[in-house]
Amino acid sequence: MIFKTIKRDELANLYAKLAQHLIVGPVRKGLDKNNKAMYDFDRVDKFADLCLDYDTTKHSAKKYFLPFTETLCTFKIFKDSWHKKVDYNINEPIVMFGLHPCDINAFNKLDKVLLEGVYPTPYYAAKRKNIFIIGVDCQPQPWCFCRSMDTDTVLHGFDLFLTDLGDRYFIEINTATAYEILQQLDIQDPAPQDHQLFLQKTNEKADKFIASVDTTDLTKILDMEFQSPVWQEWGDRCLSCGTCANVCPTCYCYGVEEEVDLDLKNARKNKHSYSCNLIDFAEVAGGHNFRPESHTRLKYRYYHKHRGFVEAFEESLCVGCGRCGQACLADINVPEVIASVRQEKI
């Protein structure tokens, strides 16, 4: 990895260099009922709109890689035959400006399933390869537990990463594309004190976490506590609304539906994101539902994230961004659920 620094003012020039492409980043979305600013990832039209000091976004950046609905292929229907056309739906490269380490780690985890699996997903791959990612460091919020999930820093999966050192940013350069773009800008080699400052920032951040999840022996504990009464308690609260999965940066479950136009001349196969919390997630042809009760569905979401994925990939599918707990109207959040399963007082 190559390290450089860039003056705070020069960042606007980096933005300008990239602005010929679609830039997506954290932007303000008004105030909540407590007059606190809300942010979300959206198209950025001018540098001033880009809020690199955002706390979190309401939704993850997932939709740019895994759209909530996506047409996988279209069919032209003839008298007694059809013609199929496949489109991976990537019309232009996208620059993602300002992803936090948790969200970049989320894509690294998705890569393991969607790129490195036996059947890579071309729709995801096409987008992943065409998105330029600029990471930015963050300040831990009360709901963040990424440090517990080992996702508070990120080593790969981005093009360049910015850490705020006050009047300048420390840059980690990870790709040739990023290096070439930066060559056209006024950048400096980091001085020895910049290295020190960078480490100091990292250490300061580590001390600021409030929420945490104890992952020690968690796969075993989840096996042991499969019948624990706490699942029923959380299930009684759950609205089965799928909000947690939709705001989650790593939930990738989906359904596929065929749609025929009313004139019977065209048809398409649509993919739409789904959630294991939804009532009919485990309903099969013929109508049998393997998980008709809310608490079994909620439980399996936790088992996929914190047990199944760990057994398969030696890491959790949760990045500790805390969005699910923040978005859940019933206040169901990962640290409290896991602590209750571990029979810890919270």
Cβ–Cβ under 8 Å, residues 240 and 279:
yes
Buried residues in 254-285 as b, exposed as e (16+ CB within 10 A): eeeeeeeeeeeeebbbbbebbbbbbeebeeee
| Residues in CB range of 31: below 8 A, 6 or more apart | 37, 38
When asked if residue 290 is in the footprint of other proteins (CB under 8 A), the reply is no
When asked if residue 38 is in the footprint of other proteins (CB under 8 A), the reply is yes
When asked if residue 237 is in the footprint of other proteins (CB under 8 A), the reply is yes
Using CB under 8 A, pick the residue from 45, 150, 223, 259 that binds other proteins.
259
Provide Rg for the chain, Cα atoms: 22
Considering only residues 138 through 197, tell me which ones interact with other proteins, judged by CB under 8 A: none
C-alpha–C-alpha distance, residues 169 and 47, integer Å: 16
Using CB under 8 A, pick the residue from 272, 312, 313, 344 that binds other proteins.
272
Q: Which is nearer to other proteins, 30 or 229 (CB)?
A: 30
Length of the chain in terms of residues written: 346
Using CB under 8 A, pick the residue from 115, 253, 278, 282 that binds other proteins.
278
When asked if residue 296 is in the footprint of other proteins (CB under 8 A), the reply is no
When asked if residue 22 is in the footprint of other proteins (CB under 8 A), the reply is no
Residue 38 Cα distances to 31, 35, 46, 179, angstroms: 6, 9, 18, 33
Using CB under 8 A, pick the residue from 50, 197, 221, 238 that binds other proteins.
238
Residue whose C-alpha is closest to residue 102's, from 337, 328, 329, 324: 324
Residue whose C-alpha is closest to residue 138's, from 115, 111, 164: 164
Q: Which is nearer to other proteins, 213 or 321 (CB)?
A: 321
Q: Which is nearer to other proteins, 219 or 240 (CB)?
A: 240
Cβ 159 to other proteins, closest distance in Å?
25
Using CB under 8 A, pick the residue from 56, 105, 215, 243 that binds other proteins.
243
By the criterion CB under 8 A, which residues form the site for other proteins?
29-33, 38, 40, 58-59, 63, 68-69, 77, 79-82, 236-243, 246-247, 259-264, 272-273, 275, 278-280, 292, 294, 327, 329-330
